[in-house]
Amino acid sequence: MPTFIFRWSEIIGIENLSEEEKQLLFPLFRIRPWANSKSLANSFDRINQAMSGNPFACDVDDWYDKERSNTGAAQELRNILQDPSYSQWYEFVRQFDNAIPCLRLDTEIENIEDALRQEWLEARGFGIVLNEYNLRYLRNALACLPNIHHNNFFVAVDMGWSRDPLQQAQQATSICVDLLRAKPDVTIFLSSSSFPVSFDNFGFGEAVNCAEYALYDEVRRQLQAVNNEYFVKYADWGTTRPPSDGGGGWIPRIDLPRGRNIRLYRRRIADDETKDEVCSAIAAEVTASDEWVTPPPSWGHYQIETTAAGGQQGIYHARKNSATRINMYLHQKLSELGALPEVTGEEPFEG
């Protein structure tokens, strides 16, 4: 279960997965207005289009500054969230059949219990997300769990971004133990992100280890030491990260996911070169390297090959590189689950 901020790169990366892969994918989207939309419904419609009608989980994007935008969708979101019980939010999500809502914990326990008594929520399923914004409301989740008399829900424990997630292992283990004691058969997804904020110190083709796996492995080890039946499922941010400050102009870069690491190929533009020429040259080096052996091929692989050939729809800006990386990473993860997509490389790029 990857978590995504609702951005162009994530949507394009998912949209270009195969239909078989989309059926296996269950992403969690942090909802914000789509572009300059007049209606918040456009966000759900865009996700539904990208997911080809398959289910997805959704929660409010707590990083989104709702007060700074004057679009119709932003105003609609502000109005919905004025209700401290969040009943308007649940009713809004309810109209989208494939959307699995996440409970809002930052309210009175009575409001959460009222939401849990709604038959449609039990029938459709729901999620509970614990992250940096609402971890102080863990007690609300623990109070509710014993009263949920079905298993059509999940809990996502999101430890956020860190380049050294092992520092978070003790806290994550403690949270998981509390959840399992409250409801021993609860499904828990442990998520984190370690994708770099800055790339200045990485050499050409250097590998970035996905430290999310180290956190997951350590927490699982600690849980099994407490009780062999304790088990959590792996989750992450799909090679993205929660919003952060910083960043400047894009230096041409192509990212190549390889299992538990990502190769970063990045080079500055010389005075006698254009950005597109540098991107094509980087892509050519990637496809000629030993790291390029990544069958079966995906849409993302074809984007790199297109760039190496100088094609117009290649990777010539940061968002396209991110979409390509996300697509390739998800493709690799879903292939492990048995998805056998048929991708020809002839699918038109849209976006």
DSSP per position, 108-148: -HHHHHHHHT-HHHHHH-EEEEE-TTTGGGHHHHHHHGGG-
Check residue 197 and give its pLDDT.
86
Check residue 345 and give its pLDDT.
45
Q: What is the pLDDT along the chain (351 residues), one digit of tens a residue?
A: 999 988 999 999 999 999 999 999 999 999 999 888 899 999 999 999 999 999 999 999 988 887 778 889 999 999 999 999 999 999 999 999 999 999 999 999 999 999 999 999 999 999 999 998 899 999 999 999 999 999 999 999 999 998 887 889 999 999 999 999 999 999 999 999 999 888 888 899 999 999 999 999 999 999 988 877 777 999 999 999 988 755 567 899 999 999 899 999 999 999 999 999 999 999 999 999 999 976 668 999 999 999 999 999 999 999 999 999 999 999 999 988 775 545 444 444 443
Q: Is 296 left (phi over 0), alpha (psi -120 to 50) or beta?
A: beta
Check residue 81 and give its pLDDT.
92
Cα–Cα distance between 348 and 350 in angstroms, integer?
Answer: 6
Check residue 35 and give its pLDDT.
83
Query: Helices in 227-265 by DSSP H: which ranges?
Result: none
Element of type H or E holding 254: strand 253-258
Length of the chain: 351
Residues 6+ apart with CB under 8 A from 1: 26, 27, 28, 57, 154, 156, 189, 191, 233, 235
Q: Which residue has the tokens 């052996």?
A: 293
Question: Which pTM value belongs to this model?
Answer: 0.93
Check residue 133 and give its pLDDT.
86
Angle formed at CA 309 by CA 304 and CA 314, multiple of 5 degrees: 45
Element of type H or E holding 59: strand 56-60
Positive/negative CA dihedral, 237, 346, 348, 264 = positive
Bridge partners, 156 (sequence order): 129, 189
Chain centre distance of CA 33 = 17
CB 3 within 8 A of CB 156: yes
Check residue 348 and give its pLDDT.
42
